[in-house]
A = this chain, B = another copy of it.
Amino acid sequence: MNARSYGASATISVDAAEAILGAATKLFGDRGFHGASVRQLADESGVSLSNIYNYFPSKTDILLALLREANSNLRRQTGEAIATAGPDVTDRLRSGVQAFVRYYVENREISIVATSEFRYLNGVARSEIVAARDLTQRVFTTLIEEGVAGRRFRTPHPHEATLAMLTMCSSVNVWYRDTGPLDADDIATRYAHLAVALLEGV
Q: Interface on A for B, CB 8 Å cutoff?
A: 29, 31-36, 115-117, 119-120, 155-157, 160-161, 163-165, 167-169, 171, 174-175, 187, 190-191, 193-194, 197-200
Q: Which residue of B lies closest to A34 (CB)?
A: B35
Q: Which of A29, A35, A120, A165 has the most CB of B within 10 A?
A: A35
Nearest first, the 5 closest Cβ-Cβ pairs linking A and B are A34-B35, A167-B171, A32-B32, A168-B168, A164-B168
- Of chain B, the residue at the smallest CB distance from A35 is B34
- Min CB distance A94 to B, Å, is 14
Choose among B31, B120, B156, B171 the residue that contacts A34 (Cβ–Cβ < 8 A). Answer: B31
User: A63 vs B68: C-alpha distance in the bound complex, in angstroms?
Assistant: 30
Complex contacts, A165 vs chain B, CB 8 Å? 168
**A191–B160 CB distance below 8 A:** yes
**Residue from the list B35, B164, B193, B199 in contact with A157, Cβ < 8 A:** B193
Q: List 5 A-B contacts (CB under 8 A).
A: A155-B197, A164-B169, A167-B168, A167-B171, A194-B198
Known: A160-B194, A163-B175; 14 extra A-B contacts, CB below 8 A, are A32-B35, A32-B120, A33-B35, A34-B34, A115-B116, A116-B116, A160-B190, A161-B194, A164-B168, A164-B191, A168-B171, A171-B171, A197-B197, A197-B198
